[in-house]
Amino acid sequence: MEKTIVLASGNEGKAREFRSILEPLGFKIILRKELGIDSPVEDGKSFLENAIIKARYASLKSNMWALADDSGLAVDALNGAPGIYSARFAGEHGDDKANNQKLLELLKDVPAQKRTARYYCALCLVRHGDDPVPLTVVSSWEGSIGFKELGSGGFGYDPLFQVTGRNCTAAQLPPQIKNLISHRARAIQALTYKLKYNLHD
């Protein structure tokens, strides 16, 4: 029997990614906006806390299972910034160009070997709004911050994110490769494993 999960996001790209992996397992994914659900105040101190806030909120509003993700970039030389503020680092939410420019400016005097960074993705799935045992996963993707933007793929900080072990940025990777090795891909794979063995009835 198919189980419907509300994705606590308005991002169609994320929805496609989640659908491609979860629908073959018998889960139907719908976006919160399809149900007229707004987004809650994300006042957590970590990616995981914010993912839990979003999942619980969507589940309470819909009376359905809900899945949320919260993700971003942590740069070692900036003590983990931009962190949970990744999408609004330069002020306006989702202004990738301004966020990348601010990051380059803050790192202008930092040498290559000290520009290490990683992307994080936290996922949370709840079966109801007060679920005492939410299913959670946190995954990361190692890299460093380049000195200029390279590549036209991806989004966010991808043109600056030099992937460890590959001579390119995340924005230069073919999508089919990125979708196998990124922080979100790893988190979805881990969640899928947990769904198969812990929650699927």
Going from the C-alpha of 172 to that of each of 5, 39, 169, 176, the distances in angstroms are 32, 32, 5, 12
Q: Is 70 a catalytic residue?
A: yes
Give me the residue label for tokens 């509300």.
6
Strands 65-75 and 116-126: antiparallel
Is residue 111 classed exposed, middle or buried when 0-12, 13-18 and 19+ CB atoms within 10 A define those classes?
exposed
Peptide bond into 132 cis (omega under 30): no
21 vs 193: CA distance, rounded Å: 11
Catalytic residue among 43, 69, 70, 76: 70
The β-bridge partners of 177 are: none
Active site residues: 70
